[in-house]
Chains A and B, each alone.
Chain A
Amino acid sequence: MAVEVFIHKMSEHMEFGTIVRWLVTEGERVERRQVIMEVETDKVVAELEAPASGILKGIRSGAVEGAQIPVGEVIAFIAEPDEAVPTLPPFGPATVIPSAATAVPSAAPVIPSAAPVIPSAATVIPSAAPVIPSATPVIPSATPVIPSANGCTHPRNLSPPAAPGVPAPAEAEAGLVRATPVARRIARELGVDLARVKGSGPGGRIREEDVRTWASSHTPPTGVGGLPGASEAPTAGGSTVTAAPGVEGLVELTSIQRVTGQRMLESVQTAPQFSLTSDADVTNLLRLREVLMERILAETGERLSITALLVKIVAAALRHHPRANASFEDGRVRLHPHINVGVAVGTDDGLLVPVVKQADQKSLVQIAQELKTFQDKAHRMRFSLEDLAGGTFTLSNLGMYGVDRFNAIVNPPQSAILAVGRVVKTPIGLPDDVVALRPMMSLTLTVDHRALDGVQGARFLGEVKERIEKPYGE
């Protein structure tokens, strides 16, 4: 009995997975739990395990590297060697949506042979029944084509498949995107890739204003050249994005960047945020760090970072200020039972916030170890969803980049975030009117006013500062 292979829902909002690469090929024998594919979700690259042992067959046409596959859609089967498996309709062509300049402006893709069911030459299905392209023209108004059902849309951030012989049927792609004729024209004129525009019309149809809105919010910064697209000769793959890195043009966002952007937008749009700032004298903290450095180095192989100390300090302070370890939810503040401190980490693909769970319960060694693991994972882009989930407070340290102070944006659904700057020897006034140079570090706490008001925020920040300046003791 053939077992279906499909991408599982790996997080609450996951709807698609992008195939990063197949680790096995059609006809190969696989064992249950063997990793057969790497799939990328919004945040992580996950491994897809074979659900059973047997021969991998019936790989659905279009399920190629770069293809965006809906969660739950059957990709292939694992069956007995002589067992026949169903031939499933192909996913939409796994090519980049052609630039708006090459999109065919036809309301009804009336080219019978180019109806969007062409199996790509590179993934011919060795099954009994050949897939016959529909003879009758596909008329969008009669049979609404829903891109999600077909699965394959613009693969995020991946260059078009270099495999020769993979066709880029522009007409069929144009037929998959529902847009009014005027929207298509404006998209052509403005060099907008319709696949990236969200339609506000019924059924997600793209209207003229959707294209214009997208175009105006995606204009390149001044100093960079004009939009590519209509005026550019389309490349072989028909990609809208042809700019070399570091040169003028449009830059594709990674899905991490995109999701981060969306969440930050959501954060500023929904949470009324304000910031409190304080500069802490880290003389004592640095001394503590020195004292503990050797031991930490011995036990973890890594130097003790300021960030690790801050995680422990912040976690301890949060114990006394549960409102800062909370989420505003449906008009009420939900206090979280655990203190899970997220630490912002920059990666090649964007900003991620892996979480030190129950940081108040962990020793400094444990925290340092975890942070080290996070750094390693960041390099390899190997965070698991577990790593990134469950944060209740975020700490962001940009000191190593030379930033003196900054305001972070609250990471929804959390209520507060602490932004830390670099340590700078600063002249400060001491109690007996003496001016002395002290290593000072800025602390900027940004708070969701729905969960915490100024005084509550100030008290929390005050305790953090106190613990930084007097780190000894509990």
Chain B
Amino acid sequence: MATVERDAVSLGAAKPVISPDLIVQVPEGVPAREISYQEAIREALREEMVRDERVFLLGEDIGKHGGAFGVTRTLFDQFGPERVRNTPISENTIVGAATGAALVGLRPVAEIMFVDFSGLAMDQICTQAAKLRFMTGGQCQVPWVVRMPQGGGAGKSIAAQHSQSLEVWYAHIPGLKVVLPSTPYDAKGLLKAAIRDDNPVIFLEHKFLYAFRGLVPEGEYVLPLGQCEVKRVGTDVTVVASGLMVWYAMLAARMLQPEGISVEVVDVRTVSPLDEETIGRSARKTGRVVLVAEACRSYGPTGEWGMVVMEQAFDYLQAPVVRVTGRHSPIPFADSIEKGVWPETEDVVGAVRRVMEW
């Protein structure tokens, strides 16, 4: 069972840890297995490829090697080189080929090794794939999924070009959907939905969540895109988060419980289209909102969520909306300063306490 332990320095005496029991999404009694986020994604790919022969994979090293992060392990053996295709190191070509394949009726799932590299495929993603349905009056569609690992972790030192969180790049483009699951359960169900969706979907996976484990029910299930999930019901403060930050929010909620502060955690899950209603409902219920995102602060996702809260819940606010975000900085390589770039659980705890003071 993999756990992520933070430094003793940052967490204090009790050293609470992030563990799978923080988020349990399968009710008691439902047959389920505990698998990793990585395995969940693989299962989704496998099941969809079995279900629909138009689904195929393309990307760098996804074949025999099983992918840079091991996500596509065993799929090459199961489905062969026609459906699990290694590509040259050319992001533009990967997405361009996927777009072309989608236009003629296939349902490709392309992998770009790091979201940081996706800039090379921007034209294909944003100007071509996102627009073609609309520019052709619906005569064609681009039902692809582009999977991209994103995010960083303190101490991992993967640095400026491999650690970014860039969901807002794509959330800003009409025509694209952007998904960012936080748990194995969500990853599997949302990827299946993404593959079945006829629109181009950017599917972002937090690379340090790959090892996180969680319960996934037996049997087929698909989760809806465009819907937040309230992962923890509370009454005092709403914490809206995505990706790895959801785990920090859940841990912070657990840490604040003994103080009598009841935290509600809303997992965004689909960055675009954003489920404004769930966010608004929660904000109106508690009147206090903390937004947590790993992406850097400026023009980051919390800006959008904050305005949604204003629009949906202004007259119910008891305190200003507070956000906890990554620092507006390229991510350092040296782990001593890398630590200062991302939010930590204590930052979420501190932010909750601040809004409670109002």
Decide: B317 and A201 in contact? CB cutoff 8 A: no
Decide: A182 and B320 in contact? CB cutoff 8 A: no
Decide: B317 and A181 in contact? CB cutoff 8 A: yes
* Alpha-carbon distance A6/B7, docked complex (angstroms): 60
- Asked if A154 is an interface residue, CB under 8 A from chain B, the answer is no
B310 (CB) vs chain A CBs: closest residue: A107
Decide: B357 and A180 in contact? CB cutoff 8 A: no
- Asked if B315 is an interface residue, CB under 8 A from chain A, the answer is yes
Output the least CB separation between A83 and chain B (Å).
47
Report the tally of A-B residue pairs with Cβ distances under 8 A. 33
Decide: B318 and A207 in contact? CB cutoff 8 A: yes
- Asked if A105 is an interface residue, CB under 8 A from chain B, the answer is yes
Decide: A205 and B358 in contact? CB cutoff 8 A: yes
Which of A141, A180, A202 is the one whose CB lies under 8 Å from B318? Answer: A180
Decide: B318 and A182 in contact? CB cutoff 8 A: yes
Output the least CB separation between B109 and chain A (Å).
44
Decide: B315 and A202 in contact? CB cutoff 8 A: no
* Alpha-carbon distance A141/B316, docked complex (angstroms): 18
A181/B357 contact (C-beta < 8 A), A107-B320, A141-B320 known: no
What DSSP secondary structure best describes chain B's contact surface?
A: loop
Output the least CB separation between A103 and chain B (Å).
12
Residues in B286-336 with C-beta less than 8 Å from chain A: 287, 314-320
* Alpha-carbon distance A184/B287, docked complex (angstroms): 13
Decide: B318 and A208 in contact? CB cutoff 8 A: yes
By size class, the interface of chain B is 10 to 19
- Asked if A185 is an interface residue, CB under 8 A from chain B, the answer is yes
* Alpha-carbon distance A164/B317, docked complex (angstroms): 37
With a cutoff of 8 Å between Cβ atoms, the chain A residues found around residue B358 in the complex are: 180, 201-202, 205, 207
Output the least CB separation between A138 and chain B (Å).
16
With a cutoff of 8 Å between Cβ atoms, the chain B residues found around residue A141 in the complex are: 320
With a cutoff of 8 Å between Cβ atoms, the chain B residues found around residue A107 in the complex are: 314, 317, 320
Output the least CB separation between A197 and chain B (Å).
15
Decide: B320 and A185 in contact? CB cutoff 8 A: no
A209 (CB) vs chain B CBs: closest residue: B318
How would residues 153 to 195 of chain B score, 1 for a CB under 8 Å from any chain A CB and 0 otherwise?
A: 0000000000000000000000000000000000000000000
A182/B287 contact (C-beta < 8 A), A105-B314, A107-B314, A107-B320 known: yes
B320 (CB) vs chain A CBs: closest residue: A141
With a cutoff of 8 Å between Cβ atoms, the chain A residues found around residue B318 in the complex are: 180-183, 207-208
* Most B Cβ at <10 Å: residue of A141, A181, A201, A205: A181
Output the least CB separation between A175 and chain B (Å).
15
With a cutoff of 8 Å between Cβ atoms, the chain B residues found around residue A202 in the complex are: 357-358
Output the least CB separation between A274 and chain B (Å).
41
Output the least CB separation between B196 and chain A (Å).
41
With a cutoff of 8 Å between Cβ atoms, the chain A residues found around residue B317 in the complex are: 107, 180-182
Output the least CB separation between A247 and chain B (Å).
32
11 intermolecular pairs with C-beta atoms under 8 Å apart? A180-B318, A180-B319, A180-B358, A181-B318, A182-B287, A182-B318, A183-B318, A184-B315, A202-B358, A207-B358, A208-B318
* Given pairs A107-B320, A181-B314, A182-B318, 9 additional interface contacts (CB within 8 A): A180-B287, A180-B319, A181-B317, A182-B315, A182-B317, A184-B315, A185-B315, A185-B316, A202-B358
A-B interface, 9 closest residue pairs, ranked by CB to CB distance from nearest: A185-B315, A181-B317, A180-B318, A182-B316, A181-B314, A182-B318, A181-B315, A182-B287, A182-B317
